[in-house]
Amino acid sequence: MTLYGDFLDESHRRMHKWHQYFPAYETHFKRFQNRHVTLFEIGIGEGGSLQQWRRYLGPFAVIVGLDIYPRCKQVEEDQVHVRIGSQTDLAFLAGVVAEFGPPDIVIDDGSHLQPHVNATFHFLYPLVAKNGVYLVEDLHAAYWPDHGGGLRAPASFIETAKTVVDAMHADYVADGAGRTPEGDRTTSVHFYDSVVVFEVGERRVMQNSTTGNPALFSNEWAPPGHTTDSFHHVVAEALSGLQVPGPAMQAALPAPAQDLATELQALQTEVTLLRRSTSWRLTAPLRAIGRLFRRRASPA
């Protein structure tokens, strides 16, 4: 039984879900099935969702629902616990973590008010267990001014999620500017329609290496009908259009042209690397040019 199939069954307590959420749930929660995991869901409604997580995750899961309405206590049952309090009450959240331990999964389906979503995330996300998941849903509300959001509004949780993407890449920015604890413990951020999912890990120093036998690719290769020197001349001519204006000329250009000049400067740097490299990927354009000349040199 899939989560979506279970959702369509009418025998459980009522719940409301957007149908496009289910593939995201399956993608990020499947690995937790039949394991000892703790799930926090903020926003209980009528309790159907809590029941669904219990059925989906299996007999070892601890399901904890958080809500401000005392009537939600009626949905407690085996494996399902309910605690009453506000998602912005940090002392309340700390007490829940102290009682049940760090959550492996957090689902924020609470008020959808952007200040609330942000406050809960900034407090709970650092406490999620390593290899856990933090999922925020109903983020169409992030675009609604009456929920504290709006398109590119700084308080929108969508904008918060974008800053985590930047923080994940802080090691590639001069002096590590923008590095945050949240970025350090994030291995990936997934954007879906109205849902953002953060996969939790730990910071590690990024490494890269080049493998393979360099003798298997020759920078002296030339297509039929060309010498090495003549083909190098052809390639140089093909790349000659990527000339970048000097700093003085760039300063005199209008803003759009300055942006273009900056892009050309970056391209010129890439071309320089390409011409010096034995990397298969960087030399792909040269091989493409070679294939073009081979086709032209082939008899019709």
List the catalytic residues: 112
DSSP-derived letter for residue 148 is T
**Distance, CA of 258 to CA of 249 (rounded, Å):** 9
- Residue 291 CA to chain centroid, in angstroms? 37
Q: Please tell me whether residue 229 adopts helix, strand or coil conformation.
A: helix
**Distance, CA of 139 to CA of 72 (rounded, Å):** 23
Q: Reading across the β-sheet that carries 186-192, which strands appear in turn?
A: 80-84, 62-67, 38-42, 105-108, 133-136, 195-200, 186-192
Angle between helices 114-124 and 157-168 (to 10 degrees): 30
What angle is formed at CA 136 by the lines to CA 135 and CA 139, rounded to 5 degrees? 145
Do the beta carbons of residue 151 and residue 145 sit within 8 Å? Answer: no
**Distance, CA of 85 to CA of 88 (rounded, Å):** 9
Residue whose C-alpha is closest to residue 267's, from 292, 245, 244:
244
Give me the amino acid identity at 177: A
Backbone angles phi, psi at 197, to 5 degrees: -120, 130
For CA atoms 226, 228, 232, 235, give the dihedral sign. Answer: positive
Burial (Cβ within 10 Å: 0-12, 13-18, ≥19) of residue 243 = exposed
Q: Please tell me whether residue 108 adopts helix, strand or coil conformation.
A: strand
